[in-house]
Amino acid sequence: MSLELIISEAIKTAMRAKDRVALDSLRAVKSQILLLKTEALGAEVSEEQEIAILQRMIKQRKDSYEQFTAQGRSDLAEVEDAQMKVIEKFLPAQLSSEELEAEIKNIIAETGAESMKDLGKVMGVASKNLAGKSDGKSISEMAKKLLS
């Protein structure tokens, strides 16, 4: 079942439960999926594109959360945090730090990377292979740590 259908069912559930935060979050996700479909002239949205949408939305909320927290607006920060948690439920399971390290070690071995000069090669493969399983910042930090 596509993410769009799953989100539609979750919207119905949130409406029945009168869960305003979940409803707002899910409607935003559905809006982004529909926008992508419109831009692609009605073509189906791939799973990779759906994951990218979810990751982008989580990153936006994380950034907003940090800004609101820094400004002392805990009321707005709580809303962003709650929405982030709702959206995260639809992402594939995230890799633990140990699993991420093991995956990146395998990628380093595959690409033959030896130093920081090879970071680009490692990041290209890692970003593609680990899409949805970990965020880009974590992948980059781990790759830098292992290559240095």
The maximal CA–CA distance of the chain, rounded, in angstroms, is 55
pLDDT digit string (tens) for 65-111? 999 999 999 999 999 999 999 999 998 888 888 888 888 888 888 88
In a 3-state reduction of DSSP, which class is residue 20? Answer: helix
Our CA dihedral for 116, 117, 123, 126, rounded to 10 degrees, sits at: -70
The CA distance from 63 to 47, in Å, is 24
More confident residue, 47 or 15: 15
Angle 20-39/47-70 helices, nearest 10 degrees? 130
Angle at 140 between CA 76 and CA 59, to 5 degrees: 20
Q: How confident is the model at residue 57 (pLDDT cuts 50, 70, 90)?
A: very high
Please give the model's pTM, rounded to 2 decimal places.
0.75
